[in-house]
Structure 1
Amino acid sequence: MTTTHDVAAVTSVLNELVAAWERHDAEAYGGLFAEDATYITFVGTLYQGRQDIVDSHRTLFATFLKGTRLADEVLDIRFLGPDVAVVNGRGDTYKGKRPQKLAKIQTYTLVRQGDGKWRIAAFQNTKRRPLMESISHRFAPGLIPAAGK
């Protein structure tokens, strides 16, 4: 049975993720992932394991993502059992003002580990292509998701 405590704990992990990004703290960011986590970027790069996630973000924070902030918006949380949660949301990186429309769709799979802490076991990040979505929906209305109708 899912409790409000579980929802708060899962949400807290995502809030900590945003805070670690804000500090550009690759160790803290990676520490929110399970030791054997997988992380797929919007360009399709697959990182496997917490250390790979830490190392890649250390480099990203010093180069391409230097000075960026992370915007995150939870769309829904589903519990697949007492120790597994799937979170769908929107996200984006930015400098300056937070964007009104977040350009990426993200899926987090979180697990409650033996120490009782929730950690991210898998992350998938997909950049949205609104023009392509619009074209495909116009020519094939059956592709419009039920939530979008």
Structure 2
Amino acid sequence: MIDTDRTAAVAAVLDSLAEAWARGDADAYAAHFTEDATYITFVGTRHQGRQDIADSHRALFAKFLKGTRLAHEMVDVRFLGAEAAVLTSRGDTVKGKRPVKLTKVQTYTLVCEEGRWLVAAFHNTQRKALMEGISFAFAPQTRPKARQ
């Protein structure tokens, strides 16, 4: 049975993160994370804690990611009890139109604190479609049964 209220609440976190990103508001973006959150970027950089996430994004929004937006779609959400969820999404940073293919895969671990869903851990991975295709061609059993 799908828990539509909790699923909607968790999905709203992604939308709110994207809104803060579009404004280039590092503090509002980081406010969606727990005080001690772990944040892994697609290049493998590890940030620890809300303040570190805010500081790094403040610099990114001023330089490399200035004027970008987040494009995202939720792939799956699983609730691990009443106050924890694992959300998988596809996403990308964009300027202009949304890309046809979203090239990154993200995992969010969320916890509900005082009625509010916050991200406790985030991991972002660049999807390598060519490498996946090669793997699937030579070892078809490596192809996941879950929707990609």
Above 0.5 in TM-score?
Answer: yes
Q: Which residue number corresponds to residue 42 of structure 1?
A: 42
Q: What amino acid is the match of 2:32? A: L
- For residues 77-118 of structure 1, give each alpha carbon's deviation from its aligned partner in whole angstroms, at most 9, with x where no partner exists: 1001100010001000011111010000000010001x2111
Identify if the C-alpha distance between structure 1 residues 143 and 7 changes in structure 2 by more than 3 Å, giving closer, same or farther: same
TM-score by length of 1: 0.95
Q: Counterpart in 2 of 1:116?
A: 115
Match of 1:137 in 2: 136
8 A contact 1:2–1:79 mirrored in 2: no
Once residues 8 and 136 of structure 1 are traced to their aligned partners in structure 2, the CA distance between those partners, rounded to angstroms, is 35
The runs of 4+ residues in structure 1 deviating greater than 6 Å are none
Could you tell me how far 1:3 is from its partner in structure 2? 3.5
- With 80-89 and 4-13 compared, the bigger mean Cα shift is at 4-13
Q: Which runs of 5+ in 1 are unaligned?
A: none
**Under a length normalisation based on structure 2, what TM-score does the superposition of the two structures give?**
0.96
- State the distance in 2 between where 1:75 and 1:2 align: 14
The answer to whether the Cα contact below 8 Å between 1:90 and 1:105 also exists between their aligned partners in 2 is yes
Identity in percent: 62
Aligned pairs (5 A) from 1:1-149: 3-113=3-113, 115-147=114-146
Q: Contact 1:77–1:86 (CA<8 Å) still a contact in 2? A: yes
Question: What are structure 2's unaligned runs of at least 5 residues?
Answer: none
Structure 2 residue identity aligned to 1:62:
A
Matched residue type, 1:3: D
- Distance in 2 (CA, whole Å) between partners of 1:74 and 1:23 is 21
